[in-house]
Amino acid sequence: MTNADTLPFSWYADEEMLRRERSAIFARSWQYAGRTEPVAEPGSFVTTDAAGIPILITRDKAGELRAFLNVCRHRGAVLADGCGTRSTIRCHYHAWTYDLDGALRAAPRAERETGFDRSELSLQPASVGTWGPFLFVNPDAEAPPLAEHLGELPTILGRGIDLDGLVFHSRVEFGANANWKVVAENFLECYHCATAHPQFSDVVDVHPDRYVLEPHPTFGAQFCESKATGEHGQFHLLYPNTGINVFPGPPNLSIGPIVPNGPGRTERYLDYFFAPDVDDAWRREFFAFDDQVGREDRALVESVQRGLASGMLDHGRLLLDAEPLLAAFQSWVAGRLV
């Protein structure tokens, strides 16, 4: 594999490769888990799925934010779904009950067991961090701080958007019949924009000298401007799977994960934020525009998946001038798997 070679095409259609990715990448990486608001108060909790790894986030009675594997230490049942407020976490299967700090409080009939030590059966901890209104988790309890993984991203994003000035609007869920890496790679280049996104290319200047691509150690950044107004936009993929979009126009941001659901299926959602004074008519037009681009991208990545999964070619060839972020992402992935 040279610098211009893609990852092996077999990596996009193999169940064993996805198992390795879950172990080597997703079990050790920071991933977007939603908004901080649902766990702002003591006694609150929210659940998330970190690429197939169920995670429980709590705000304990002392006000400390915590995260755990959302799996009962008895027989492995998922403990909770959704979000809400509780004084304890009680398993629906056999009523094992945990405090919000993860300690096992009670296990029915445990007093009949010789040598049963509740202190050895606390929930398995994970890492949790916040960035503005955003909540992130890492299944690895010993993970480096979120800020270290974010690197320069908050500074770069802050040049174009005031996170504290945004208000959550809604969440949109969608998916594609394609490997998660295909979806991420499509997000990392605008080489296809002039061909496949005519409406986007009418609005945004996609000329290669003005649509700027900037690789960073833990994320890929793209910068653009509106043809009509000169307003700026930016798009980022925080490795491995968090997409962030700021379109040219009134203050707006969307953020969400790219989540594998099998080697040939990806689930996604985006949380949308806007400044409070953004006009409703502009917002309706924006959602229609965003949906159109999304449908075009879904057709593209599903076409790529069918070709990759055919098994007839070993790999492809990148154009490093047009696809440097894709090359950097593939190198990052390969470095954690090989």
**Does the residue 6 lie in any domain?**
no
Answer yes or no: do 41 and 135 share one domain: yes
* Total of domains in the chain: 2
Tell me which of 142, 173, 196 is where a domain ends: 142
DSSP 103: -
Q: Is 24 a domain residue?
A: no
Whether 194 and 90 map to the same domain: the answer is no
Q: The whole model's pTM is what?
A: 0.96
Based on the fold, state whether residues 156 and 127 are members of the same structural domain.
no
pLDDT digits (tens, 9 = 90+) for 179-231: 999 999 999 999 999 999 999 999 999 999 999 999 999 999 999 999 999 99
Domain membership flag for residue 239: yes
pLDDT at position 3 is 80
- Domain range for residue 207? 150-337
Terminal Cα-to-Cα distance of the chain (whole angstroms): 12
324 part of a folded domain: yes
3-state secondary structure 6-54: CCCHHHHCCHHHHHHHHHHCHHHCCEEEEECHHHCCCCEEEEEEECCEE
| Contact between 203 and 229 (Cβ < 8 Å) | no
300-332 pLDDT, tens digit per residue, is 999 999 999 999 999 999 999 999 999 999 999
Query: 206 and 99: one domain?
Result: no
Are residues 113 and 158 both part of a single domain? Answer: no
Q: State residue 1's pLDDT score.
A: 43
> Per residue in 91-132, pLDDT tens?
999 999 999 999 999 999 999 999 999 999 999 999 999 999
Cis peptide before 8 (omega within 30 of 0): no
Which of 118, 142, 166 is a domain's end point? 142
pLDDT tens digits, 228-284: 999 999 999 999 999 999 999 999 999 999 999 999 999 999 999 999 999 999 999
169 close to 187: Cβ distance less than 8 angstroms: no
Q: Which amino acid is at 229?
A: T
pLDDT of residue 2: 52
Same domain, 232 and 206: yes
- Whole-number Cα distances in Å, 188 to 45, 191, 212, 314, 324: 33, 9, 11, 22, 9
- Mean pLDDT rounded to a whole number for the chain: 97
Identify whether residues 35 and 159 lie together within a single domain: no
Q: Is residue 19 part of a domain?
A: no
Instruction: Please check whether residues 290 and 213 belong to one and the same domain.
Output: yes
Same domain, 188 and 292: yes
- Do 213 and 296 fall within a single domain? yes
What is the CATH number for 76? Answer: 2.102.10.10
CATH number at residue 315: 3.90.380.10
Give Cα 259 distance to the centre of its chain: 7
Q: What is the pLDDT of residues 136-165, one digit of tens each?
A: 999 999 999 999 999 999 999 999 999 999
The reply to whether 109 and 203 lie within a common domain is no
Of 151, 270, 160, 266, nearest in space to 215 by CA: 151
| Residues 118, 171 share a domain | no
9 inside domain: no
Last residue of a domain, one of 97, 121, 142: 142
Neighbouring C-beta atoms of residue 143, cutoff 10 Å: 19
